[in-house]
Structure 1
Amino acid sequence: MTRLADWVLGHRLLIALFWMAIAVGGAVTAPTTTDRLGYEFALPDQPAYETNQDILAETGNGGEDPLLLTAQGDGAAAAVTRAAEQVVRTAEGARVVTPDQADFLAADDTAVAVVYPRVTPGQEPYAAAVPAIEKVLENGAGDGPQVRLTGFELLTEGGESSGDRGVLAEVLLGGGGALLVLVLVFGSLLAGVPLLVAAVAILGTFLALLGLTGLTDVVFVVQYLVALIGLGVAIDYSLLLVTRWREELADGAENDQAVRTAMATAGHSVLFSGVTVAVSLAALVLVPLPFLRSIGFGGLLIPLFSVATVLTLVPALLSAFGPKLLWPRGTRARARSPFWTRVAKGVVHRRWPTIALTSVVLVLLALPVLGLSLGSPQLTGVSSSSPESRSLTAAVDAGVPVGVVRPVDVVVPADGDGEARDAAEELAGIDGVAGAVAPEGDGWQVGDQRLVQVYLAEDPASEDGRAALDRVRDAAPDADAVGGTAAEDVDFVGAVYGNIIWVVLAVVVVTFLLLAHALRSLWLPVKALVLNVISIAAAYGITVLIWQDGYGSDLLFGQEATGAVTAWVPIAAFAFLFGLSMDYEVFILSRMREAYDDHGRTDDAVVDGIAHTGRLVTSAALILFLSFVALATVPSIDVKILATTLALGILLDAVVVRGLLAPALVAVLGEANWTLPSPLARLLRVRRS
């Protein structure tokens, strides 16, 4: 690291020009990058996905939840039937199920028609169809009941009026919060350095992301993760390096020497932290699903570019302009935080009560994860005060089966309409099924087979709904020919989590070896990994409480309980939280290790480590928290759930786990913290303490 520092200080202008070119290139090509991002969450080789793809290929629609036409009042069934017929005449290729084809679609002067328009590529599969259908409804409005357009697809994306939230808006929100925290931390122009570095790192990552889109499909969620997690991580690493440089400067070191010392100490931590984050994100690359792999690849770019910019651009800027950036505070800032010094001393003196209390809190927060239910949100979880949502909720309350929002498609062998109707009658008799229908027409033909729609009596995302879906799959002529999004959810959970333990173990082993090498210890990495498991479990538990069970979802987001946590959120949250939490552990333990090497006293090393890093870690965590709060403003329910897990998880980890529990455990372990068995030392090629 010292050689790198010397090289950087000798090539400051070259480094500045290089990163300027990268930033300009990333900014110019950013629109092209975002245009190349995909919106398909493919599940190759999974039966429900492959069935949906077959239906889509044959009919031009399907594989998505349908749009619904709803009406209330006298003549509701006739009104939605007429509207559906007009849609079929106007929208080429649309197929429908009306109340006259399935009487269970009408109840108590309320009726629903199921509409499958043609799907268009993009974030909203019915983007082209919705305006056309709305025009049909407007032109066909008469004296009868008003027919409204709704559907699960519209409600989960925040409704038609949600608008398209660009990634720039989220970055500005997160950046504004970060700037406020940095001003409070530095009180000088130095606050602009981490933001500048983060901007360069984000733009560089976007440039690399453009190249990645030429090699593989990249899902649109990556742009938000790159921008906001990149903002937080790059600022975290810059904070660590800049804070250490300022400490050395305040102790009387010459500017360039302060830079060299900061690189040799904090720079070493930044490097290992970045590698650790990258390793944790490799968990997603190993998952056999393209869109999760793309999140993993995109996520890998974040720490790599953040580390590269921080270890080159930051020392170059500090060498060239550092002392001038200290205005107006100068070097008067304290290296040790008085508040965190008191906290650390209190933890050391009361180590066992601290361990007991924080452990109880974390276990209580983690307990709800035992009831975790994975899948898409239930209808109640995406309901709102919009007319579209109210009309759909009113139809379900009136007796229209809730399964109409997410039908189950069953492909059956049939030479004629009679055989298809017989299959529908048999499926309709299954416990938990409200009704089934085999509509006539070319739009319901899949090759030489027919398509039967099954509507569950309970929400497909509920426990009873999933049990009914299992019975439908068991009773279907071909269990692998059952489609619909609910069936895809079940297959997704099996594909991702069936063998996830091996992926997690691989990440844990590699992370352990990295930490053991960096900290020259056996028990410090073990402790860090155990704490990570507890911390992530608590984050999952909080997410279950807020979203699945609804404690606070209405207050915070104006949403009722979803009844389930989006299936891909836990694995994505694990990858990011595991790496980001380990960042803070490396920051703290590295400083403790450095202090112990100086004086050989464990309790004093704990106090020194927390006193120097407590403010840094909490400030960095607050910046990431604000970034994830910005992410939570994205209209998509799925993204909100992920943002909640990340935001509360990172805050809980930094304050409770790393600020209290981790130092207490180090104090309890005593001299064992600093030992490294000879075989492991030889394997890692490090000297023993």
Structure 2
Amino acid sequence: MASRLYAWALWVIRRRGRVTAGWLLVLAVVGGLALSLSGRTNDEFTVPGVESQQAQDLLKEEFPQASGAVARVVFASPDDGRELTDPGYAKAVSAGLKKAAEISGVTAVTDPAQTHTVSASGTVAYADVTFDVPPSDLSEQARSEVRSAMDSAREAGLEVEFGGTAMAPRTEIGGIPEVIGVVIALIVLAVTLGSLIAAGLPLVTAVIGVGIGVLGVLFLTRFVDLSGTATVLAVMLGLAVGIDYALFIIARHREQLAEPGSDLDDSIARAVATAGSAVVFAGATVVIALAALAATGIPFLTAMGLAAAATVLLAVLIAVSLVPALLSFAGERLRPRRPARPERPAREAGAWGRRWGSAVAARPVVVLVTGVIALLALAVPALDMRLGLPSNAARPTDSTQHKSYDLLTEGFGPGFNAALAAVVDVREVPDDRRQTTVTALRAKLAEDRGVAAVAQPVANAHGTVYVIGVVPRTGPDDQATTDLVHRLRDNAPAVGKTGATLYLAGTTAAAIDVSGKLAGALPLFVAIIVVLAFILLTAAFRSLLIPLKAVLGFLLSVAAATGASVWVFQDGHLNGPLSVASAAPVTCFLPVLLIGVLFGLAMDYEVFLVSRMREHHEHTGEAKEAVVAGMARSGRVVCAAALIMTAVFAGFIFNDDPIIKSIGFSLAIGVAIDAFIVRMALVPAAMALLGRHAWKLPAWLDRLLPHIDIEGAGLPPRAATSADRTPEASAV
């Protein structure tokens, strides 16, 4: 691999202008397609085949008016002693609802006075505005018109808030916190590389890669369903790995340029061949891990993984093509300056990493035991992890969705926001027995101890499908509600004997179904990742013990990051500093996403760190000294890369979307744990304990595995001067 990348880098240097122009052209073309042909993102997390989705499909076919987007308008009277039945308030509410009924696409509007959806106190009421299209197809203009229609109620002094599937906010990116993360990355780059020009290059290349990736995702929304979360994940990973991959190559280039008489073009090509090999190898693991999300069999997660994988692939391609082209343009300006006073001895390169590596290698058992105990302690909360999807309670406290949630809870009880829909298909039931069957089912549902109320059945025009509203006693994030859903579904066999089919649907039931599907897919996904890591690292490092150590460290990182996420989001700690509106179950697809992303990122640091150890071991045969030398050569860059990645991910913690917030926190804490505890402490400690045994591989396996040259052993001898450079290649 190294030899081919070396030749490739020389080819890029000779054609640096055309390579740079080519990437800019790709950015312009993809940007033009995205701006002119992009579609809408779809933030419905559905899973084909689960019961709630089967019910939704049935409603679309047989009862379309019950499957459209619903805007729930919540009214609350001010603290003036008057109830919503007051003539002035009632008139204002009626006027607003009448105006809402005139909005294009609205099929039905309920009136609280007629449907009796007024709280017992008379101070809270709600009305539903139903559209003829699903939430994903509803335009922003329609949402805006619903809000404007209620101006009369606001002018009368009422508080008006909005919930329901039609009013779910769009996922947004690009806020101040994300910008702060990029600024921190720039500072870390400047300190690490000691040059503003060198620090700016990774940001430029990362922005180009992210731009192409995100614009490409927006273009694809015209043809496939992609969530706003997929776009944000692409931005997260594109920025993080794009900066890190460029940093690895630029740091290696400047390290080589510091050597007297080093040739500029040879240094660029050698950096791409060595650090670039680690980038290609590590990037491939990220891409494969994200693409492996398809193994879950869940379409929205597959699309999310493929979109993120494509962005990471772009980061790798840019790192080995655009980065060397820009390094060639920068020329001698990237060569480290010599000390102003030659008599002063130069500071040893990697002195900090050498001291740290020596300290860890001197007490490997203490470091290993302490680190493992600390990570296991962090992982303890994960034992009580519950999965779900965030409700409106998790939205920012000043958002209309959160306020509507609180008002409905205050007026109608906590279970009102967890309302379920019992969908009954009676097409196989004789006409004269349909009503009796549905009535008996309603009575059966009402008998459950967890049910607060059961609405009257509503039939479609042909009387073949009925919908029965069921209100639990507990909220959507309560374990008791999940237990209730499972108990109510136990009625299905009894209903099936009558010829009818019972489905339990609604937002709460859908969240439970998606969580269950993901929990079932998790063991297979973990197995795929672990086997993949073992095979790739065995081929790269010609060892069995190094891959085993890497996999165990990765599992510790995932367990600790998951435990920290449970402690914050499910147990409700640090709610104030992190602006977490409400304690709730962990986002159902977060563990799978965390495993896929963190695996690839952990392999970045593993490959970059251990490859430098192996490089030293191949030249000297000294196992323990190789550990120290590897830390001296890579420790500073790995720490800088981890700080950058943590800062970029942490910027998304303050995003208003609770899903993005939890993803940002989990990835930030996961990268920090894996880099600073596992890779910088446990890895050198384990390598020091293993000694020369770490580099052993059975002869029969060595013959079977392909040889991957990451360290550059097959490269030509290093050029000593710059005399052989062509004018074209050496121009700055």
TM surpasses 0.5: yes
Per-residue CA deviation, residues 169-223 of structure 1 (Å, 9 max, x unaligned), is 7764443332222122223211111112212322333465467557643332222
Q: State the distance in 2 between where 1:588 and 1:262 align.
A: 15
Is 1:67 aligned with 2:69? no
Which residue is 1:183 aligned to? Answer: 190
Q: Alpha-carbon deviation of 1:166?
A: 4.4
Task: Name the stretch that deviates more: 324-333 or 206-215.
Answer: 324-333
User: How far apart in 1 are the matches of 2:145 and 2:383?
Assistant: 45
1:474-514 Cα shifts (integer Å, max 9, x gaps): 23536652210111122212323324322332232222221
Q: CA deviation at 1:469?
A: 1.5
Correspondence 1:24 to 2:28: yes
Task: Note the 1:480-491 alignment, pairs <5 A.
Answer: 481-491=503-513
Alpha-carbon distance in structure 2 between the residues aligned to 1:85 and 1:122:
20
Between 505-514 and 645-654, report the one with greater CA deviation. Answer: 505-514
Q: Name the SS for the 2:490 alignment partner.
A: helix
Query: Which residue in 2 is equivalent to 1:370?
Result: 383
Which deviates further from its counterpart, 522-531 or 58-67? 58-67
- Residue 462 (structure 1) aligns with: 478
Match of 1:554 in 2: 576
Residue pairs, 1:266-415, within 5 angstroms = 266-326=275-335, 336-377=349-390, 380-382=393-395, 384-385=397-398, 389-390=402-403, 392-397=405-410, 400-412=412-424
Are the structure 2 counterparts of residues 142 and 308 from structure 1 closer, same or farther at C-alpha, using a change threshold of 3 Å?
closer
Alpha-carbon distance between aligned partners in 1 of 2:420 and 2:318, rounded to the nearest angstrom: 50
Q: CA deviation at 1:602?
A: 2.0
Alignment of structure 1 residues 674-685 onto 2, 5 Å: 674-685=695-706
User: One-letter code of the match for 2:286?
Assistant: V
Displacement of 1:260 in angstroms is 2.8
The 3 A distance-change label for structure 1 pair 85 and 259 is closer
In the alignment, the residues of structure 2 paired with residue 293 and residue 391 of structure 1 have an alpha-carbon distance, to the nearest angstrom, of 33
CA–CA distance in structure 2, aligned partners of residues 333 and 435 of structure 1:
79
Deviation at 1:24, TM superposition (A): 2.6
Per mean C-alpha deviation after superposition, the further-off stretch among 349-358 and 78-87 is 78-87
Q: Which moved more, 1:645-654 or 1:413-422?
A: 413-422
The 1:687–1:259 alpha-carbon spacing in structure 2 relative to 1, beyond 3 Å, is closer
Superposed, which structure 2 residues align to 1:123-142 within 5 Å? 127-128=140-141, 130-140=143-153
Q: Is the 8 A contact 2:417 2:476 kept in 1?
A: no
Change (3 A) 1:426 1:101: farther
Aligned mates of 2:99, 2:445 — CA distance in 1 = 28
Contact 2:424/2:501 (8 A) holds in 1:
no
Could you tell me how far 1:140 is from its partner in structure 2?
A: 4.7
Instruction: Give, in whole Å, the separation in 2 of the partners of 1:559 and 1:513.
Output: 43
Matched, 1:249 2:263: no
- Match of 2:74, SS state, is strand
1:528 pairs with one of 550, 561, 565: 550
Could you list the runs of 5+ residues in structure 2 that have no partner in the other structure?
Answer: 714-732
TM-score, scaled relative to structure 1:
0.89
Preserved CA contact (<8 Å) 2:100 2:146? no
> Hey, what's the Cα distance between the residues in 1 that align with 2:513 and 2:272?
48
Q: What is the SS of the residue equivalent to 2:161? A: strand
Aligned residue among 224, 227, 247 for 1:219: 227
AA matched with 2:581:
Q
Shift of 1:368: 0.6
Match of 2:660 in 1: 639
CA contact (8 A) 1:68 1:405 kept: no
SS of alignment partner, residue 477 of structure 2? coil
Residue 514 (structure 1) aligned to one of 529, 536, 544: 536
By how many angstroms is 1:50 displaced? 2.4
Matched, 1:258 2:271: no
SS of the residue corresponding to residue 597 of structure 2 reads helix
Question: Contact conserved, 1:55 with 1:63, CA < 8 A, in 2?
Answer: no
Matched, 1:151 2:163: yes
Greater displacement, 476-485 / 323-332: 323-332
Q: Is the 8 A contact 1:63 1:485 kept in 2?
A: no
Q: 2:55 aligned with 1:51, yes or no?
A: yes
The answer to whether the 8 A contact 1:513-1:684 is kept is no
Question: What is aligned with 1:588?
Answer: 609
Q: Verify the 8 A CA contact 1:118 1:126 in the aligned structure 2.
A: no
| C-alpha distance after superposition, 1:74-114 (max 9, x if no partner) | 434686896596477555312548486568x6233444335
Q: What is the CA deviation profile of residues 212-247 of structure 1, one whole-angstrom value per residue up to 9, with x for unaligned ones? A: 557643332222222231111111111111111111
1:619–1:111 Cα change, 3 Å: same
1:386-412 Cα distance to aligned partner (Å, 9 max, x none):
5764564255245x2322223211123
Quote the residue 1:7 is aligned against. Answer: 11
Amino acid at match of 1:281: L
Q: Distance in 2 between matches of 1:63 and 1:655?
A: 49
Are 1:114 and 1:404, in contact at CA under 8 Å, matched by a contact in 2? no
Contact 2:453 2:472 in 1 (8 A): yes
1:150 and 1:315 mapped to 2: Cα distance? 52
Alpha-carbon distance between aligned partners in 1 of 2:574 and 2:273, rounded to the nearest angstrom = 45
Q: Is the 8 A contact 1:87 1:94 kept in 2?
A: no
Residue of structure 1 in register with 2:242 after alignment = 234
Aligned to 1:576: 597
Q: Sequence identity, in percent?
A: 29
Pair 1:322–1:122, CA change in 2 (3 A): farther
Distance 1:463 1:481 in 2: 20
Are residues 1:432 and 2:437 paired?
no
Could you say if the C-alpha distance between residues 409 and 582 of structure 1 is closer, same or farther in structure 2, counting changes exceeding 3 Å?
A: same
Which letter does structure 2 place at the counterpart of 1:232?
Answer: A
Contact 1:65/1:485 (8 A) holds in 2: no
SS in 1 for 2:654: coil
Moved more, 568-577 or 450-459: 568-577
Alignment deviations for residues 239-270 of structure 1 (CA, whole Å, 9 cap, x no partner): 11111111111122211222232223212211
- Are 2:465 and 1:449 equivalent residues in the alignment? yes
Tell me which of 629, 637, 662 is aligned to 2:650: 629
CA shift in 2, pair 1:141/1:166, >3 Å: closer
**Would you say the 8 A contact 2:69–2:135 is kept in 1?**
no
Q: Check whether the contact 1:278–1:303 (CA below 8 A) recurs between aligned residues.
A: yes
* Alignment partner, residue 160 of structure 1: none
Corresponding residue for residue 192 of structure 1: 200
Q: Contact 1:174–1:228 (CA<8 Å) still a contact in 2? A: no
Unaligned runs of 5+ in 1: 158-162
Quickly say closer, same or farther: Cα 1:120–1:215, change in 2 above 3 A.
closer
CA distance in structure 1 between the aligned counterparts of 2:294 and 2:708, rounded to whole angstroms: 33
Look up the equivalent residue of 1:483 and give its one-letter code.
A
Contact 1:33 1:209 in 2 (8 A): no
Residues 8 and 439 of structure 1, relative CA distance in 2, 3 Å threshold: same
Shift of 1:283: 1.9
* CA distance, structure 1, for counterparts of residue 24 and residue 155 of structure 2: 62
Report the secondary structure of 1:41's partner residue.
Answer: coil
Secondary structure (helix, strand or coil) at the match of 2:586 reads coil
**Aligned-partner Cα distance in 2 for 1:166–1:319:** 34
Aligned: 1:497 with 2:519 = yes
1:103-131, Cα deviation, whole Å (9 max, x unpaired): 8x623344433525216566695845544
> In terms of mean alpha carbon deviation, does 634-643 or 62-71 score higher?
62-71
The higher radius of gyration belongs to 2
Q: C-alpha distance in 1, partners of 2:360/2:618? A: 21
| Residue pair 2:475, 2:481 contacting (<8 A) in 1 also | yes
